[in-house]
Structure 1
Amino acid sequence: MSITTWMHRNLFDPTYVTHDLEWPSRFAVTCWLLWKRRCCLVLGSEEGYRGPIRAWPAFGGGMQTDDLGQWLLGFARFVGRCDVLVAELWGIHNGLLRAWGLCYPRVELESDCLEAVRILTSSLDALVDSALVTSIKELLVQECRVVVCHVGRSINRVADMVALWDRGLVGEQLTLLDPYANIAAVLEEDISGSISAIGESVGVG
Structure 2
Amino acid sequence: MVNATKTSHEIAWKPSREGWIQVQSDGSVLQPSGSAAAGGLLRDHLGRCMGAFTCNLGKCSITRAELKGAAEGLELAWKLGYRNAELNVDSRTALDIIKNRDHTDHCHGLLAKQFSSLLLREWTVEFNHVYRECNFAADFLATKGHCSPFGTHLFDVSDPNFCYWLYHDSMGISRNRLINDMI
TM-score by length of 2: 0.69
Are 1:70 and 2:48 an aligned pair?
yes
Instruction: Report the equivalent of 2:28.
Output: none
Task: Quote how far apart the aligned CAs of 1:128 are.
Answer: 6.9
Decide which of 125, 134, 137 is 1:155's aligned counterpart: 134
Query: What is the aligned-residue RMSD (CA, Å)?
Result: 2.3
Unpaired runs of at least 5, structure 1: 1-54, 195-205
Q: Output one character per residue of 1:10-63: Cα deviation in whole Å (capped at 9) or x when no partner.
A: xxxxxxxxxxxxxxxxxxxxxxxxxxxxxxxxxxxxxxxxxxxxx701001211
Aligned to 1:91: 69
Larger radius of gyration between Structure 1 and Structure 2: 1
Which has a greater percent of helix? 1
Query: Is 1:74–1:179's contact at 8 Å kept on the other side of the alignment?
Result: no
Whichever structure has more strand as a proportion of its residues is: 2
Query: Cα–Cα, structure 1 residues 129 and 178, in superposed 2: closer, same or farther, change >3 Å?
Result: closer
Given the superposition, is the C-alpha separation of residues 168 and 188 from structure 1 closer, same or farther in structure 2, using an over 3 Å criterion?
closer
Paired residue type of 2:74: L
Q: Distance in 1 between matches of 2:161 and 2:65?
A: 23
Q: Contact (CA 8 Å) 2:102, 2:112: kept in 1 or not? A: no
Q: Provide the aligned length of Structure 1 versus Structure 2.
A: 141
- C-alpha separation between the residues in 2 aligned to 1:76 and 1:134? 22
Gaps of 5+ in 2: 1-32, 174-183
Question: Could you say what secondary structure the match of 1:127 adopts?
Answer: coil
Tell me the CA shift for residue 123 of structure 1.
6.2
After TM superposition, give the deviation of residue 122 of structure 1 in Å.
3.1
Where does residue 187 of structure 1 map in the other structure? 166
Q: Which has the higher contact order (CA 8 A, sep 6+)?
A: 2
Q: 2:75 and 2:43 mapped to 1: Cα distance?
A: 15
TM score, norm. by length of structure 1: 0.62
SS at match of 2:128: strand
